[in-house]
Structure 1
Amino acid sequence: MTSRMFRRALVPLAALGLVAAVAAPASAGPDSVPGTAGATTVTNTPEPARPAFYEPPASIPATSGTIIRIEPPTLFIDPLGLSKYSLTATRLMYASKDRLARPIAVTGTVFEPKAPYLGIGSRPLISFAVGTQGVGDRCAPSRQMAETFTEYEHYLLQGFIARGYAVAITDYQGLGTPGTHTYMNRAAQGQAVLDIARAALKRPGTTLTSTTPIGLYGYSQGGGGAGSAAELASTYAPELRVKGAVAGAVPADLTKVAANLDKSLYAEFLNYALIGLSAGHGLDINTYLDDTGKAVAKRTENSCVFDLANSAFQNSATLTKDGRPLTAHLAEEPLKSIVAENRIGNRKPAMPVLVSHSVLDDVIPYAVGKQLAKDWCARGANIRLSTNGVPLHIGGVAPSLAESFAFFEARFAGLPQVNACWAIW
């Protein structure tokens, strides 16, 4: 049986959740696990040479959150490097798990202010889930912050750092490390967010401890990462003292998000999702794509968010063998079950959550965020939905961030969030 035949044989079972989460070797094999040594891309497109730091060891620790290696970045979060006088910054590789609980190596960055924390209690940690960066290794936040100063969310970090918080930013599975980034894979993203918090508490010289209060923050893809982490925290990382989560513009229902993206300015995000879900679920995308689609997928492998124009207003029907849009295939197996597995809202967060979304979001429909809040409320979670009218997806970032400051200050001070599920109609 060839590797490709083996992957195809696994797809129906994996999509239905019938493949056991057994321990598999943390190395490239028939399913080529992203974040392991020698992993390949789903399009078999060679990845550009990466810095040695991002090459995983042959054996990855089974204990999630274990630090594999650390190094100081060459730059901090300002072009002149002046922040080095007020911050410690560490680039690290740490152990996490993929959706089948197989060990993977993930990279990221941790920032910690040098000045004593002046707030109530001990210094908090924000595990910051970044928004869409792209899928190419060069897009990894830790590389952009340390090498090119192009990480567009760096200004969001500064608000938390100015409050004396430590901040940990994951690169997610396969972003920076070998293999295709598993974009939009719910479990892998949430686990990476929680595991970098674990790693941050173990960083040499840190003032953080096992009792450090933790907050989860993210917007867009990061909203999905933070939302998934909020759902998983009580079972996956019960030792972490997660006090609250802020999840903005969450792509909770990929079917509805995909329908909104097709033929839009942000159609490249649909390409990211196709290869990302394929990488996470062992799906052979050649089953669906014609020659044009295969060429687009190969190009996408090294794409960053700044390359959106490459596929702007793309009609996915022009990429498929049968001439139907990719959204039509999402309603059929195995993609139907894959999308269902990655739905956020089916598990109850154990901590208070602030859900933020703009009614004028042009990327992730407001109805998706509102339904997520209702789904969590139906499961008995403590939720507040904050609706704003700032135009566009990008515009919704500012109110989400601004509200997060007061939210986390209250949670870290031990104040309860008043459950506002009653106000969500």
Structure 2
Amino acid sequence: MRKNTWARVAAGALLALSLSPLATASPAQADGTSFYDTPTTLPANNGDIVRSEPSEFYVDPVKLIKADADVQRIMYRSTDRTGVPVAVTGTVLTPKTPWVGAGKRPLIGYAVGTQGMGDQCAPSRTLGKGLEYEGPFIAGLLARGYAIVVTDYEGLGTEGEHTYMMRETQGHAVLDSVRAAQRLPGSGVTAANPVAISGFSQGGGAAASAGELAPTYAPEINLKAVAAGAVPADLSQVAINLDGSLYVSFMGYAVSALANSYGIDMTPMLNAKGQAMMATLSTQCTLDSLATFPFVKSKDLTTNGLPVTDLLTKAPFNQMVADQLIGNGRKPNVPVLITHSALDDVIPYKTGKQLAQRWCGQGTKVQFDTNFAPTHVGDYVASIPTIFLFLEARFAGLPALNSCWRL
């Protein structure tokens, strides 16, 4: 049965990765406003529910496979990089079947990979359309009986720009989504349920950030483990790898988010082509951007003819990039799995390994798993079985492996 489940997940992942999320109308409230409109005032505490409504989750875009789960779209309070309260949306999924494992049903705080910058790309919108490319993996978690909460991150679906790759904001969004799921009536989980955090690529960075922020930002969460794949832990290394590649739009997302988060006007630094590209990226989902801007060299976008990677080494961007370094004096207090392919063409392998080394140096128990699947997509698919086994072992209370001795 597990083999069949894995086969469906892998096949679904490859199918879903070939499809681009489509624009969808915002669900309307009884008062005529959109579900995604931010209210004038937010609740008092991080993780408090602003509003919720029933939703759906289809694994496939033809809508042949509907998840056997209670699905609720939520809006909850979180905080941005500077500590200002913000409204973030997400989705809580609880299997309809009883939990048959030991103890209480586990809750997974799931951080999705790169979705794009347009509001239509938010997972809480695409899950109901069968267009979320990580839907098959989420379905695999549901098949194991876990409750799941999937954050949209700040500014994805809601007002403002998506804070793509912003370490603190993404970590806060994940941790506060866990709190929100625990406080949502009828979710089937409370603060007593065991929790794990997982994600890959952008989601790997968000999961890793949440793991190391949890001891101070959300110490009450009953966190058992963190599983992070292809973690973009050092944006300076990732940017060099992306420039001129198929995935150069990811660098555009990150630079735009950095500038927006820190209040930097990029207009004087970009020529007409660069300004047009950044404006287009702000409205697109991932596959649209990949198709529109493949192999663009950033030196062709700047007014001085220098690559954006050069810009990132100078003030004020160098400090902004340094602020996003994961593992810089912070660490998770629970066992961690880091998975990474030596052949990943998006996130350099050394980036994940160096994060493992930094955490090991601070005393975290890290299982570092190397695979040799070609490409970033191959890395994602190859990591799935390892993540499933790691989570099952942690919830079963088994001893965690430690790779720190060989790193």
Q: 1:357 aligns with which of 326, 334, 340?
A: 340
Q: How many equivalent residue pairs?
A: 376
Aligned to 1:274: 255
Q: 2:164 aligns with which of 180, 183, 197?
A: 183
Q: How far apart are 1:139 and its partner, in Å? A: 0.5
Segment drifting more, 190-199 vs 391-400: 391-400
Q: Where do 1:21-420 residues align within 5 Å? A: 50-51=26-27, 52-78=34-60, 79-80=62-63, 83=66, 86-146=68-128, 148-307=129-288, 308-346=290-328, 347-420=330-403
1:415 and 1:211 mapped to 2: Cα distance?
19
Contact 2:343 2:375 in 1 (8 A): yes
Q: How far apart are 1:296 and its partner, in Å? A: 0.9
Segment drifting more, 128-137 vs 281-290: 281-290
What are the superposed Cα offsets for residues 217-252 of structure 1, whole Å, 9 maximum, x if unpaired? 100000001000001011101010110011000001
Secondary structure of residue in 1 paired with 2:71? strand
Amino acid at match of 2:348: P
Segment drifting more, 279-288 vs 362-371: 279-288
What are the superposed Cα offsets for residues 7-32 of structure 1, whole Å, 9 maximum, x if unpaired? xxxxxxxxxxxxxxxxxxxxxxxxxx
2:259 and 2:365 mapped to 1: Cα distance?
34
Q: How far apart are 1:203 and its partner, in Å? A: 1.3
What are the superposed Cα offsets for residues 101-131 of structure 1, whole Å, 9 maximum, x if unpaired? 1000000101101111011111000111000
Q: How far apart are 1:82 and its partner, in Å? A: 5.7
Query: TM-score with structure 2 length normalisation?
Result: 0.90
1:81 and 1:142 mapped to 2: Cα distance?
19
Q: How far apart are 1:399 and its partner, in Å? A: 2.6
Secondary structure of residue in 2 paired with 1:138? helix
Q: How far apart are 1:149 and its partner, in Å? A: 2.1
1:370 and 1:299 mapped to 2: Cα distance?
34
Moved over 6 A (4+): none
Contact 1:50 1:137 in 2 (8 A): no
Q: How far apart are 1:62 and its partner, in Å? A: 3.6
1:344 and 1:385 mapped to 2: Cα distance?
16
Contact 1:62 1:103 in 2 (8 A): no
Contact 2:267 2:275 in 1 (8 A): yes
CA change 1:50–1:115 in 2 (3 A) is closer
Q: How far apart are 1:418 and its partner, in Å? A: 3.0
Contact 1:126 1:217 in 2 (8 A): yes
1:120 and 1:407 mapped to 2: Cα distance?
16
Secondary structure of residue in 2 paired with 1:108? strand
1:392 and 1:316 mapped to 2: Cα distance?
22
CA change 1:180–1:48 in 2 (3 A) is farther
Contact 2:93 2:147 in 1 (8 A): yes
Structure 2: state its 5+ residue gaps. 1-22, 28-33
What are the superposed Cα offsets for residues 7-62 of structure 1, whole Å, 9 maximum, x if unpaired? xxxxxxxxxxxxxxxxxxxxxxxxxxxxxxxxxxxxxxxx9984400111011224
Amino acid at match of 1:101: G
Aligned to 2:404: 421
1:225 and 1:48 mapped to 2: Cα distance?
25
1:371 and 1:422 mapped to 2: Cα distance?
14
Query: TM-score with structure 1 length normalisation?
Result: 0.86
What are the superposed Cα offsets for residues 279-337 of structure 1, whole Å, 9 maximum, x if unpaired? 22222111321222111111111011111121100010111111100000111010000
Aligned to 1:4: none
Structure 1: state its 5+ residue gaps. 1-46
Secondary structure of residue in 1 paired with 2:81? coil
What are the superposed Cα offsets for residues 123-181 of structure 1, whole Å, 9 maximum, x if unpaired? 000111000000100110111112x3211000000111111000110000000001110
Secondary structure of residue in 1 paired with 2:299? helix
Contact 2:63 2:130 in 1 (8 A): no
Contact 1:290 1:319 in 2 (8 A): yes
